[in-house]
Chain A
Amino acid sequence: MSTASPSGATEELLRALAPRVLGALVRRHGQFDACEDAVQEALLAAALQWPESGVPDEPFAWLLTVASRRLVDGFRADSARRHREDAVFVEGERLVAEPTADALDAPPDEDDSLLVLLLCCDPSLSAPSQLALTLRAVGGLTTAQVAAAFLVPEATMAQRISRAKATLRRAGARFALTDDDTAERMGVVLHVLYLMFNEGYMASSGDVLARAELTTEAIRLTRMVHALLPGDGEVTGLLSLMLLTDARRAARATSGGDLIPLAEQDRMAWNHAEIAEGLALIEDALRATPLGPYQVQAAIAALHAEARAADETDWPQILALYRLLERLLPGNPIVSLNHAVAVAEVDGPRAALAFLDERDLDSRLGEATHRADAVRAHLLERAGSPRAARELYRAAARRTTSLPERRYLESRAAALD
């Protein structure tokens, strides 16, 4: 799809079908890596042909047929696998011969998308590899599109993806996951989707459009998982959290790309349709399912979203939710930092500084210690210690690797001169 540019509707259809076709192939043949290559080729063929010849009556069967044929061609070409060829060949020929009948006999099982997502989130892969593979295999993105989203050269991303697939093969990825595997891996799946969202959301406005598409993709995939598992409270919580956070997109940076803190954002510019959907989702989840960390974070985002003005925010309730979150995610330094901000709103900045001193954050933040400095600087400013605040703003500005964040921190320091 990097060369062809199918219409929006075709691309949407292809991306919805991609994980289901891959899931069906993997169930039949195993060999995730070969199947994934075959599906990519089928997607490319469809992207080239459908805009010309029209979408076939049975698009799923069409893709499955083409992908199966490519897979069989691949096996045939590989003489070292000759002994395995016959079995696969027979299966492949059957698919090629009667694609629509096959698809009608066994209508595409929706759960195949989830199977593919679970396979991409194999614990043997690093988080960046899980993300890249998920975007390609479940999101139906080309290697070039995934590379663009992560701002790396296509050759680099191709290496990473092929290495991830080799790792999966060596790890002996199982294609029939037990309920226990599924439960264990759902945590990783949600984390991968959460990282995908953050990767897109962290980029400010401006010329990095590819990253905004990551946010959209994370929401699309989380919606898909939610549709497959509507009763899972954490899936619902994560979708709600994404929608409530994404709703602030238009208000969180100036046209020049400078960050605007939550309290100063123009709440009229928030996306109120996304907020309404996010609020409805989290209310359902909190009522009907066991509590988990994504739900608590969505509940906090919901309280921010419901406040018509910053000074109407229900901080005591937010503080109570942070206490709960710290119990659910013990030792998470970012949670502690946000918790401190809530302490400051309820008990004052001195109490928040004492709260931070009790927790040895810097050792746990690693390279992100500038974030602790930035929060301390805010608290010192509010506590009436401008000189100490200015020094910490400057220290944080020097250490951040984010340009908008540096501009923001330097402007706070300059305001105290």
Chain B
Amino acid sequence: MDILVQQLINGLVLGSVYALVALGYTMVYGILELINFAHGEVTMFGAMIALAVISALMGAGVDLPGVVIALLGLLTAIPACMLLGYGIERLAYRPLRNAPRLAPLITAIGVSIVLQNIAMLIWGRQYISFPPILPQGHHNLLGARITDVQILILITSVVLMIALTLLVKRTQLGRAMRATAQSPQLAGLMGVNANHVISLTFIIGSGIAAVAGVLVSAYYGLAHYYMGFLLGLKAFSAAVLGGIGNLAGAMLGGLLLGVIESLGAGYIGDITGGFLGSNYQDVFAFFVLIVVLIVRPSGLLGQASHDRA
């Protein structure tokens, strides 16, 4: 029993990180119908920039509590990634706004590779360690263990998801985003500046990605230039699973994917008597994705193509 609880905790923590990154994919897709494949790399930059700040502060012998140092790293990473997200949209996607769909997709992959290489040039190919500055305690939950960092990840994710939902549903900007998603032309006629809305979508998504990147590297204790790739791919799958373009879908998809991955990797060996093993951990996510797309092509919460974002 406690093993099942433990696997669920593992899955929910992993899934909430996927969900955070998936939000960025789904927001951009909702507005532009573009899959921003560079989004995983924005996550990676968030982790790297925060780590650079943290190690600079620690190297300078700044005498502050670890949580404050981590927070300073995070508060540098968020605006830096927002700027990066804005820059990517401005330089790589906006000039191709009216080009055939394939062009921005290819650019997105190109941007992703360019960002990886820039990160490699700046920070090297080595894995960088995340210093143990966050609380390292753990608590008992129904016979399983939950660590302080895991609690931090869960709380941060839930808060961000609620904040983003409120932003989209309750504010003027949210209304403009929903209007642009429905029809950029019509929204323009109603006085919405589509370019502003699109820029802001990228900026908000990238800010959330920065938080996700910092949380991931704090969780695993390391970061490196390639970490955004698989994370981005899984988060993209989560967005599609939930119904790309749908915020609640991205959250649901992310959580589901994390739980399925944990339960799959944890139990497949025992269930199949060792015929299939935990080396299929990364496969479960994509297997579930294929099944959902066959049965329900628009994803779990997706609707044909209306009411996006």
Co-complex (A, B): no
